[in-house]
Structure 1
Amino acid sequence: MKPLSGSKVLGAFIHAVTWDEAIASIHKWGASRESRYVCICNVHSVVSARSNRDFERVIQEADMTTPDGAPVAWMLRRLGFRDQQRINGPDLMLRYCEHAASTGESVFLYGGRPETLSLLQRRLKQDFPSLQIAGSYSPPFRALTEKEDQDVVDQINASGANTVWVSLGCPKQEQWMADHRGRIQAVMVGVGAAFDYHAGTLSRAPGWMQRNGLEWFHRLCSEPSRLWKRYLLTNTLFIGLAAAQLLSGTESNRD
């Protein structure tokens, strides 16, 4: 498999991958139970990486970063990857579960409320009857003790899971994956609100809004009090910084 290439978007390196390449990379690592992590990067991610050095390091050190959000994929197209698609968390999770069901791989679900995990597992088994769900864990709304964290690591490793799907929200899930690389023997993939979408506890934007880069607007309308500040600030910053990057011709490709 050829090395992944990509470019910096506002300072955060994003891999230019197709759906097939993303799934193939995760499968290759997961089949060997390699300890790796994948970040799904939207506008909020790349803007946060620019202002937060610790988060920037987490993104930089990821084994794969995919362009979630139409603006990030659009930037990659402008930077030379003309056919770049949006590789988002919810769809990547479903596509990979379909793949795992056909190959006999097992998945572990980390994050979400207990009731969300119950609904999610029912939905996944309904859609992919042969999918092996190795286990799940709903963390409390506090930091785990050292022993609790080690117990979770042991549980995941003992389950034999090839991939761990992490739904904690950004930047918590990315930091959690980075902290556990080398400890969890599986590929960790941070998928944001995917658990809630697939469990049916949170409605996702209609297909036409997703295709036209308006999924963020649907989320804003669904949770205005929580998200208005994030979208107002980050979207405005992204537009200005992206324009400055394109005008300066600054890009950094890497194979």
Structure 2
Amino acid sequence: MYWNEGTCPVAAGPEKQLVLNVGISKTSYAEVSALCVQWARERRAARIRRARYICVTSVHGVIMAQDDPEVARILNDADIATPDGMPLVWAMRSFGCREQQRVYGPTLLLEICRDAARSGLRIFLYGGREDTLPVLAARLRERFPGLEVAGMYAPPFRPMSKGEDEGVQRMIRESDADVVFVGISTPKQEKWMYEHRDCFPGVTLIGVGAAFDFHAGRTRQAPPWMQRNGLEWLFRLAMEPRRLWRRYLLITPRFLPLWARQKLRQKKLGS
């Protein structure tokens, strides 16, 4: 297996660091949120041809990209791909991004909602369950007075027909949302954003995974000390073993040896 070394330039967002041939953005909560506000203003001031999309990228996603060229292309084409897990942060630091911090999906959602409320941005919630979304919207409005939740939709747990999908596209466009949070599982949410990037000109699409369930109170988050030390996977596995065992016991353990191999190659090239 071969990795290109170094950084990966992108058109709209921050510079990216390649980790196992996946570009992970050198960024922060503040920068991503500020860019969302900036992009919303650009959307309203001029005609933007396509949506921008942000992938909150975990080790799971990076490993999937090793096996699926489509996932790799989607992540690398993203305007921003944040380092969602501590192993990615550690890898980026080992490749020279010394100050990189985690940019975690559930926290990013809150940061953007805070700035959206201050700046008058409209948000749309796509994903989750029908009984989750109203609770989530109410909690976000309570936490961030003035936040405009322009709409919400919980897609069915099956492929949608062309007519259903067109109806959802129309709903989002008519909501005049500036930011669409997409809360479905990886890689479904990344594929949905990529496939729909031409449907919502100027809108920012952000895949936030389990953030909807966390902030609606349906699922517990790992304690902060576990998050800081890269142990969130253990907490989530204990909470949802039947759903997550394959991800955390078979897929993500592949990351460490691949990271070590990339580091070794980097040292050989630098010697």
Which category of TM-score, normalised to the shorter sequence, fits these structures? over 0.9
Hey, what's the Cα distance between the residues in 1 that align with 2:41 and 2:171?
19
Hey, what's the Cα distance between the residues in 2 that align with 1:235 and 1:137?
31
Paired residues for 1:79-158 under 5 Å: 79-158=95-174
Hey, what's the Cα distance between the residues in 2 that align with 1:3 and 1:29?
10
Paired residues for 1:230-249 under 5 Å: 230-249=247-266
Deviations along 1:74-105, one digit per CA (max 9) or x if unpaired, are: 11111111010110110000011011011111
Structure 1 alignment gaps of length 5 or more: 251-255
24-33 vs 151-160, which moves further: 24-33
Shift of 1:201: 0.3
25-34 vs 172-181, which moves further: 25-34
Give 1:209's aligned residue. Answer: 226
Hey, what's the Cα distance between the residues in 2 that align with 1:149 and 1:72?
34
186-195 vs 152-161, which moves further: 152-161
Hey, what's the Cα distance between the residues in 1 that align with 2:60 and 2:40?
28
Hey, what's the Cα distance between the residues in 1 that align with 2:106 and 2:214?
7
Which of 6, 13, 22 is residue 12 of structure 1 equivalent to?
22
The one-letter code of the counterpart of 1:237 is R
Shift of 1:213: 1.5
Q: 2:38 matched to 1:22?
A: no
Secondary structure class of the residue paired with 1:66 = strand
Give 2:77's aligned residue. Answer: 61
Asked if 1 retains the 8 angstrom alpha-carbon contact of 2:13 and 2:79, the reply is no
Taking structure 1 as reference, are residues 218 and 17 closer, same or farther at Cα in structure 2, changes over 3 Å only? same
Secondary structure class of the residue paired with 2:116 = helix
Q: TM-score, normalised by structure 2?
A: 0.89
Shift of 1:143: 1.2
Which of 184, 196, 214 is residue 200 of structure 2 equivalent to?
184
Deviations along 1:157-189, one digit per CA (max 9) or x if unpaired, are: 111110000001100000000000011231000
Hey, what's the Cα distance between the residues in 2 that align with 1:215 and 1:238?
16
30-39 vs 58-67, which moves further: 30-39
Paired residues for 1:218-233 under 5 Å: 218-233=235-250
Q: 2:181 matched to 1:165?
A: yes
CA RMSD of aligned residues (A): 1.3
Taking structure 1 as reference, are residues 24 and 200 closer, same or farther at Cα in structure 2, changes over 3 Å only? same
Hey, what's the Cα distance between the residues in 2 that align with 1:45 and 1:240?
16
Hey, what's the Cα distance between the residues in 1 that align with 2:13 and 2:213?
33
Shift of 1:3: 5.8
Hey, what's the Cα distance between the residues in 2 that align with 1:10 and 1:129?
41
The one-letter code of the counterpart of 2:143 is D
Hey, what's the Cα distance between the residues in 2 that align with 1:58 and 1:230?
20
The one-letter code of the counterpart of 2:35 is S
Structure 2 alignment gaps of length 5 or more: 1-11
Query: How many pairs were matched up?
Result: 249
Q: TM-score, normalised by structure 1?
A: 0.94
